Copies of this chain bind each other. A is one copy, B any other.
Amino acid sequence: MTEEVQALLGKEYRCLDKGFVRLIDVMGDDAAIVQAARVSYGSGTKKVHEDRGLIRYLMRHLHTTPFEMVEFKFHVKLPIFVARQWIRHRTANVNEYSGRYSEMKDEFYVPDPDQVRAQSAMNKQGRAETAFDADEAEKIRASMQQTQEMLYGQYQDLLATDLAREIARINLPVSNYTEWYWKTDLHNLFHFLRLRIDPHAQYEIRVFGEAMAEIVKAAVPLAYEAFEDYILHARRFSRLELEALRSMLTSLPTVEELESRGLSGREAREFLDKMQ
């Protein structure tokens, strides 16, 4: 582990009002991806001269298994409703704080004023681009917080009667914070990030995704760069969209023109293949 990565271990990346992401451990780095790929592809990979080129080739062609050779473990504190979205990523290991064994803590998510927004008119699942006016937002926030305090008070009262923890907690809201250790490989982590950094993801999980992206970028800079170029900032075009594109282009650029834009020679030829 490089000193830069070691310096990240345990560091709290604050997320939302009371949450965080902390990198607990990481196995492997960019070199581990290359090492695994060279086992798979043997002498066939000698032609790709250097690590960066190989990693970019792997990412571009969805040769995903070498990325599985890197593993990340995080400690996360997050609201229950975020945990419920997160846990849908099944290829991961999880140890979550248990409300059956232990008392839930007095910590609840309240959105920042600028996140108190109307239902999106465009997007059945999202919120609008702009926030409520400041007074209205503050009123909603205050009311949310008051409710949370009341619910935690009731929870404490129930525990005081010696009611079993596993029952006493049933009226705690999904804004209550929980914690977990979450461990996954880099391929699945990229898949998580692609879906959760996306503007269509709920803001509250996106914040965690962005913090993790920052960590991942520091730990595996070449792989992260390739992820950005070929996945995150790439777009897929359907059969009909491709037809439209082809008909719109009166002429195709040369390999040289494409290279002058930063594409490798091989990428340039792949691009021209796609356009024909």
Interface residues in chain A, defined as those with a beta carbon under 8 Å from any beta carbon in chain B: 25-28, 32, 35-37, 39-45, 47, 60, 62, 65-66, 68-69, 71, 73, 75, 79-81, 83-84, 87-88, 90-91, 93-103, 109, 111, 115-120, 124-128, 132, 136, 140, 143-144, 147-148, 151, 154, 158, 161-167, 169-175, 179-181, 183, 185, 195, 202, 228-230, 233-245, 248-249, 253, 258, 261-263, 267, 271, 274
Q: Can you list 13 A-B pairs, Cβ within 8 angstroms, ordered by A?
A: A25-B28, A36-B95, A39-B180, A43-B103, A44-B102, A65-B88, A65-B93, A69-B95, A98-B125, A118-B163, A234-B239, A244-B258, A249-B249
**A163 partner residues in chain B, CB cutoff 8 A:** 116-119, 132, 140
A102 to B69, CA, bound (A): 21
Please judge, given known A-B contacts A69-B73, A73-B27, A144-B171, whether A42 and B240 are in contact too, CB under 8 Å.
no
A26 to B97, CA, bound (A): 25
Query: Are B167 and A111 closer than 8 Å at their CB atoms?
Result: yes
In the complex, the chain B residue whose C-beta lies closest to that of A183 is B69
Query: Are A93 and B185 closer than 8 Å at their CB atoms?
Result: yes
Interface centre among A35, A62, A236, A241 (most CB of B within 10 A): A241
**A181 partner residues in chain B, CB cutoff 8 A:** 35-36, 39, 69
Q: Which of B75, B136, B234 contacts A39 (CB 8 A)?
A: B75
Query: Are B249 and A261 closer than 8 Å at their CB atoms?
Result: no
A32 to B35, CA, bound (A): 26
Query: Are B118 and A164 closer than 8 Å at their CB atoms?
Result: yes
Q: Shortest distance in angstroms between A164's beta carbon and chain B's nearest beta carbon?
A: 4
Query: Are B235 and A263 closer than 8 Å at their CB atoms?
Result: no
Q: Shortest distance in angstroms between A133's beta carbon and chain B's nearest beta carbon?
A: 11
A75 to B35, CA, bound (A): 11
Q: Which of B79, B95, B171 contacts A40 (CB 8 A)?
A: B95
Interface centre among A32, A126, A136, A248 (most CB of B within 10 A): A248
Q: Shortest distance in angstroms between A47's beta carbon and chain B's nearest beta carbon?
A: 8
In the complex, the chain B residue whose C-beta lies closest to that of A187 is B93
Query: Are A25 and B32 closer than 8 Å at their CB atoms?
Result: yes
Query: Are B81 and A84 closer than 8 Å at their CB atoms?
Result: no
